[in-house]
Homo-oligomer: A and B are copies of this chain.
Amino acid sequence: SSAPAPIIATLFPGDGIGPEIAESVKQVFQAAEVPIEWEEHYVGDQIDPRTQSFLTWESLESVRRNRVGLKGPMATPVGKGHRSLNLTLRKELNLYANVRPCYSLPGYKTRYDNVNLITIRENTEGEYSGLEHQVVRGVVESLKIITRQASLRVAEYAFHYAKTHGRERVSAIHKANIMQKTDGLFLKCCREVAEKYPEITYEEVVIDNCCMMDNLLLEKMEVSFLIFVSHAQLVKNPALFDVLVMPNLYGDIISDLCAGLVGGLGLTPSCNIGEAGIALAEAVHGSAPDIAGKNLANPTALLLSAVTMLRHLELYDKAERIQDAILNTIAEGKYRTADLGGSSSTTDFTKAICGHL
């Protein structure tokens, strides 16, 4: 088959360990002959008035133009008068869905070995409205905003994702027993979309029940045990969730909780989906300034995020090949970075992955 035309993608290497792990991605992509050309952008050293943050307008324009990008960790500079880098990206690029696949890595042992789920988080509203004020001295309030438009949009994304990725169940996570109007509207929208996908099972799970994950993941679960938890959990296969969709704050919490089950944010990918087909993949761990520049960082989260970007571009073959190479390298155990109990450098780990391609 002839080589596809090269795709231009924006790359934000980010701060701290960012440049090293971004370098790892570049090498792996090169070794796998991924037809991507990177357009690199760094966080500026002063506030750009057009973005009200240290992100430059040019870097946002680059993502808007290329429609696809990869982002390393960015430490938001301390100080007043500017917006957080993450929140600026979400707002300016209208990144409405944050997608995080979360699965047990073969050969990397945690307390769980059967995790395989996807969290899909509404990424623009809810508790992240930024609307807060003091009512009287000593009394403050924050507004949680839920809209029909944003709820339908993320629900549609979740069901479409489930259908196109061979997933069987979508669970909407909520607290509508307390927030009847806001979470109630979110559920109403999910139900509307669910009707269009009769082949996907739809269920609703209250967030506090959902977070008793340890129960849900027990492989041999006594049915009588379930009597103490809510009916919503009485799913056919209680061992696993499949696709979870939820408002912003619950997504923030549950995606980290799930990452914790399989080894933490250093291992789990993330991708933000925006309107007009934008996809900005990102490693959501910190920039780890203490080990920056020491060739010690683990590039796995950024590499697997880059893989989600390839899937978004429908470069499925490349995505599979690279993901297999990463997972096989970790499973083999010969080359592992320090956070996984090994002693490999970032570059040796990267070379080992390239060797598996």
Contacts and interface: CB of A to CB of B under 8 A. Distances in A.
Interface of A: 84, 110-112, 127-128, 132-135, 137-149, 175, 177-182, 184-185, 207-209, 211-215, 222, 224-225, 227-230, 249, 252-257, 259-261, 264-266, 285-286, 288, 290-291, 296-298, 301, 338-339, 341
A230 to B, nearest CB: 7
Nearest to A250: B253
A224 B265 CA distance: 13
Candidate in A147, A178, A225 with the most chain B CB atoms within 10 angstroms: A178
Given A222-B339, A252-B208, A339-B227, A214 B148 contact: no
A225 B257 contact: no
A301 B213 CA distance: 19
Q: Which 4 A-B pairs have the closest CB atoms?
A: A212-B260, A138-B148, A132-B181, A228-B266
Candidate in A137, A180, A215 with the most chain B CB atoms within 10 angstroms: A215
B144 A214 contact: no
Given A228-B285, A286-B227, A144 B142 contact: yes
Nearest to A224: B338
19 contacts: A84-B177, A127-B175, A132-B180, A132-B181, A140-B182, A141-B181, A142-B182, A143-B143, A178-B249, A208-B252, A208-B253, A208-B255, A212-B259, A212-B260, A212-B264, A222-B338, A224-B338, A227-B286, A228-B339
Contacts of A207: 252-253
Given A111-B112, A178-B128, A181-B142, A212 B148 contact: no
A99 B110 CA distance: 30
Given A141-B181, A142-B179, A211-B253, 4 more contacts: A139-B145, A139-B148, A211-B257, A228-B265
A279 to B, nearest CB: 22
A288 B214 contact: no
A266 B225 contact: yes
A260 B144 contact: no
B215 A341 contact: no
A128 B141 CA distance: 12
A71 to B, nearest CB: 16
Given A180-B132, A181-B133, A211-B211, A265 B229 contact: yes
